[in-house]
């Protein structure tokens, strides 16, 4: 809000911009709403420019979305995708976390893992999906495997960076007080890397959603990606767009249902610190 001042303030353009800026900052939601409006306007404009087969209008998409949501199949698909996503993210994060910690602590382990990291980071998800189909066939194992391979290296890098950032003095303290390995993990390593790993979660979750849909599109008989592939086959553009909206909602669910609460819990010690 522009503060009504008792003192007389000079009226300057800079001052005006600052108070407008504060006004917007005071209500973070406003920026979000602004973003959605810009997005919708852009989308509507595109649908006017292009054929309805290429870009479905927002209205047609909403209609298709409601039609989809009345079918139980849709909800089944959403639940299946959500399950694969959560399992894949969880396993991928655990693998990345443990390897990242080990690599951050031991240079030799790091050197051994480096080529594997680069390989898994550069192979396109679609190639991983095709190979996974050869090994696991169509279905959940394939999809989950792809998510793990994509997610693990990101968490790995973040965990390693986090490990580097842990103050060696804390580790020396832990050794002086004879902390057993389990306590080293719980009291020093895990909380120490939490900040950087959690910061990476936003990226990881987004990647996870993209990859799970892709892997389902390629090789599954159910899930959001499969729904997408069907609408693609029938050239049902509004439904295709509706599926995209659903996967967006899935990401939102992950972010606000799991990641945010986790972050608040893990980082609760940081709020209100006096930083001295």
Partner 1 sequence: MIRFQKVFKSFSGHMVLNNLSFDIETNTVVSILGPSGIGKTTILRLISGAINPDFGVVEVTGKKIGYIFQDPRLLPWRTARDNVALGLIAEGKPKDESRRIAAGWMKKLDLEGFEDYYPGELSGGMMQRVSIGRALAIEPDILLMDEPFSNLNVELKKTLMTMLESIFEEYQTTVVYVTHDISEAVRISDKILSILPGSVTEEIQPDDFQKLMQNSCIDEYESDLTKKRKKEPMFTKKVTAI
Residues engaged in binding partner 1 (CB under 8 A):
169-170, 172-173, 175-180, 183, 187-188, 191-192, 194, 269-270, 272-276
Distance (Å) of CA 106 to CA 86, 120, 203, 219: 30, 21, 26, 38
Interatomic CA distance for residues 44 and 35, integer angstroms: 14
Give me the least distance between CB of 183 and partner 1, in Å please.
6
Site of tokens 């792809």: 146
**Shortest Å, Cβ 258 to partner 1:** 20
Q: Which is nearer to partner 1, 88 or 192 (CB)?
A: 192
Nearer to partner 1, 161 or 236 (CB): 161
Q: What is the DSSP string of 188-207?
A: IIHHHHHHHHHHHHHHHHHH
Q: Which is nearer to partner 1, 4 or 180 (CB)?
A: 180
Kindly tell me which of 73 and 175 has the beta carbon lying closer to partner 1: 175
CB of 268 to partner 1, least distance (A): 8
The CB density around residue 100, as the number of other CB atoms within 10 Å, is: 29
Q: For residue 223, give the DSSP letter.
A: S
Contact 119, 62 (CB under 8 A): no
Least Cβ distance, residue 189 to partner 1 (angstroms): 11
Q: Is 35 exposed, middle or buried (0-12, 13-18, 19+ CB in 10 A)?
A: exposed
CA–CA separation, 262 and 259 (whole Å): 5
Q: In whole angstroms, how close is the CB of 165 to partner 1 at the nearest point?
A: 12
Closest to partner 1 by CB, 10 vs 169, is: 169
135/177 with CB nearer partner 1: 177
Q: Judge residue 133's burial from the number of C-beta atoms within 10 Å of its C-beta, 0-12 exposed, 13-18 middle, 19 or more buried.
A: buried
Query: What is the chain's length?
Result: 276
Min separation Cβ 81 and partner 1, Å = 34
């Amino acid at each position: 809000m522009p503060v009504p001042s008792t003192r007389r303030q000079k009226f300057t353009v800079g001052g005006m911009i600052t108070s407008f800026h504060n006004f917007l900052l005071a209500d973070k939601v406003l920026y979000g709403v602004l973003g959605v409006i810009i997005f919708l306007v852009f989308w509507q404009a595109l649908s006017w420019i292009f054929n309805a087969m290429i870009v479905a209008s927002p209205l047609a998409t909403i209609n298709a979305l409601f039609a989809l949501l009345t079918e139980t199949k849709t909800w089944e698909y959403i639940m299946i995708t959500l399950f694969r996503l959560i399992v894949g993210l969880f396993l991928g994060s655990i693998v990345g976390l443990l390897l990242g910690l080990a690599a951050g602590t031991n240079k030799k382990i790091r050197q051994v893992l480096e080529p594997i990291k680069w390989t898994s980071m550069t192979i396109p998800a679609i190639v991983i999906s095709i190979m996974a189909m050869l090994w696991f066939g169509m279905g959940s194992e394939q999809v989950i495997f792809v998510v793990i391979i994509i997610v693990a290296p990101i968490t790995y890098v973040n965990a390693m960076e986090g490990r580097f950032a842990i103050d060696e003095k804390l580790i020396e303290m832990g050794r002086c007080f004879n902390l057993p390995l389990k306590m080293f993990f719980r009291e020093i390593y895990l909380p120490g890397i939490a900040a950087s790993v959690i910061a990476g979660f936003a990226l990881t979750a987004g990647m996870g959603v993209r990859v799970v849909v892709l892997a389902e599109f390629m090789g599954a008989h159910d899930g959001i990606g499969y729904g997408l592939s069907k609408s693609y086959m029938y050239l049902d553009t509004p439904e295709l767009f509706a599926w995209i909206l659903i996967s967006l909602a899935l990401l939102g669910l992950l972010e606000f249902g799991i990641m945010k609460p986790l972050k608040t819990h893990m980082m609760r010690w940081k709020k209100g610190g006096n930083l001295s």
